[in-house]
A and B are shown apart, each in its own frame.
Chain A
Amino acid sequence: MTIKTTFDAGTRHVRRSTGGAANDSRRWGTTALAILFLAVMLFPVYWMINASLQPNGATLQTSWLPLSPDFTGYATAISQQGGNLMTSLVVALGSVLFSLAIAAPAAYALAYFKVRGAGIVLFAILISQMIPGIVVANALYTAYNDLGLLNSIPGLILADSSHGIPFAILIMRAFMNNLPASVIEAAKVDGAGHLRAFWSIVLPLSRNALITSGLFTFLFTWSDFLFALTLTTTDQVRPVTLGIFQYMGAYVNDWSSVMATAVLASIPAIILLIAAQKYVAAGTTGGAVK
């Protein structure tokens, strides 16, 4: 859905211009209004950054502007939560690789083959989105306990991938559906088997879809809180989301460190917002046969 809108924004803006200077200033007036809306919506993000730059300690009044930025919050955050940030990074990267390895072949099969049961698989993917995470966590906890996967990075990677795999399959399938069938047919005529057609033709052509699904899978896994909360019980393996949650115990007296950790935990989202825009747009305009 995001993809479609971004694409629309690109094409629909080409329109005949009807007005003169008066029209122009009215349009800039609308822009000002839009900026106002955005300022209200993004105020919490500003506040997070502002509060992260305030001096440490139990200051009751946070100043509205970080006029004298203080980085002690970041120093504390990195020394206390650095390991957790690394754990999150490892889990998220592992989950991206695992999710793409599982989702890409499935997307290829769903896009090209008329396999019996493909409809059921797609339906299962849609239904899986409706299953509450707590239900999955409840059952996984007992299974993980038996399998020794609690408090382990592989265990978290496997569980967290449930956020990304259904999404990645749907995104890549939609993209591969739009690749011209002739490309695959040509590969087949050349004598390439399915594996080769998939690996050396479809995957390279689907680069943008792979990157898009990879970025979103990273973000989903990085943001995961539920599995971090339920499938870890010790300090050994602790993603940063859980670190923030425990920071905010009953009473917080050091908000600048909490906010500094929150800023650090927001970096992937901000990168995605900038980077994925490009890939998402490229994914829709850059086709196989130009």
Chain B
Amino acid sequence: MTTTVQELARNPVQPVTDAPMKRHQGYRRRERIYQWLFLVPAVAYLALFFGYPVVKNVLMSFQDYSTSTFYTGEAPWVGFANYATVISSSLFSTAMINTALFTAGSIAGQFILGLGLAVFFKRRFPLNGILRSLLLLPWLLPLIVSSAVWRWILDKDGGALNNFLESLGIISTGIPWLTSTSLALAAVMAVNIWIGIPFNVTVLYGGLQDIPDELYEAASLDGATGWKAFRHVTWPMLRPVVSVVLVLGVVYTLKVLDIILGLTNGGPANSTQTIATQSYALSFQNFKFGEGAAMGNILVLISLVFAVLYLRANRRAVDE
């Protein structure tokens, strides 16, 4: 043992014992505790702000948790009553259909336009880099800002879109984009597509850049250029990135709340109400937290199905 005091002071992790075996074990245990200390704050945070809410939400969904609970502290157990109330409500099927339409429409629009732009930006032309980074702006703006701007653009009377269409003579009176029950969902979807395009372009562009040029050169020798090259080289090579973009897109779109609340607040006449906005309304507008929790859990379940599909797809890709 030649450990000097100086060395010890500099390296407090190193314990000094006579038995080498014991020393090694003690060192390893201390080392492991030390290493865990770096992780503990993050683990505690994740447990408190993700783990706890999920568990608490499950519990609340089986309780009659309402305004009076906050005064009396009592939340009687009601079994599946909250789920029964929520599912049997006439709004439930509306919210489910809207969620499905909103998610499918948003994802399809974002993906197709995003892929088109990503392929476009793969060309070499001046200012490509700057223009592509400016394209990120809609993605970086606070969602509530985007919804405010779009609400003004889509405004029936003074909105830019109606003004533009009127000046072209396409329409004679303003179209109530956000205030008509038949148009509002499509309008909200269009805004959500606008917000999602940058993310799709960025990820798909990254995927396109990873496809080796040699493949295209080889394909062009075989006569595959343009659309053929896209079908037989780009698409198969891009498949893994595509599945990531689509699943992440679905998971993010399912929980969209800001845009819908900002644009229509779920209206008119619930025509843009989704599972997420319904969960918000139940808890924070009707103060039926138990029912809001039940609705939230249904949303988690739907997300979970997609998460499992995603993991499965990934594993299959690895197996192949």
Residues of A within 8 A of B (CB): 1-2, 4-6, 8-10, 12-13, 15, 27-28, 30-31, 33-35, 37-38, 41-42, 44-45, 47-48, 51, 59-62, 101-103, 105-106, 108-110, 113, 115, 118, 121, 124-125, 127-143, 145, 158-159, 161-162, 165-166, 169, 191-194, 198, 219, 222-223, 225-226, 229-230, 241, 244-245, 247-248, 252, 255, 258-259, 262, 265-266, 269-270, 272-273, 277
Contact = CB atoms under 8 A, between A and B. Distances in A.
B257 A262 contact: no
B307 A48 contact: no
B46 interface: yes
Contact of A165 (B7, B42, B57): B42
A258 B147 CA distance: 11
Given A34-B120, A226-B257, A115 B32 contact: yes
Contacts of B128: 9, 13, 31, 34
A5 B205 contact: yes
Contacts of A143: 52, 56
A27 B299 contact: no
Contact of A138 (B131, B158, B163, B296): B296
Given A142-B60, A226-B257, A132 B303 contact: yes
B13 interface: yes
Nearest to A113: B35
B276 A132 contact: yes
Interface string B42-66: 1101100111111011001000010
Nearest to A11: B209
B77 interface: no
B39 A105 contact: yes
Contacts of B300: 131-132, 135
Interface of B: 7, 10-13, 32, 34-39, 41-43, 45-46, 49-54, 56-57, 60, 65, 69-70, 117, 120-121, 123-129, 131-138, 140-146, 148-153, 157-158, 160, 163, 194, 197, 202-203, 205-206, 209, 251, 254-255, 257-258, 261-262, 276, 279-280, 283-284, 289, 292-293, 296-297, 299-300, 303-304, 307
Contacts of B36: 109, 115
A131 B53 contact: yes
26 contacts: A35-B127, A37-B117, A44-B153, A47-B153, A109-B39, A115-B39, A127-B50, A130-B304, A133-B255, A134-B280, A134-B292, A134-B296, A135-B54, A136-B53, A138-B60, A138-B292, A139-B57, A142-B56, A191-B7, A194-B35, A225-B262, A226-B257, A245-B262, A262-B148, A265-B142, A265-B145
Contacts of A158: 49
Contacts of A110: 39
B38 A106 contact: yes
B257 A131 contact: no
Given A38-B134, A62-B160, A133-B257, A45 B141 contact: yes
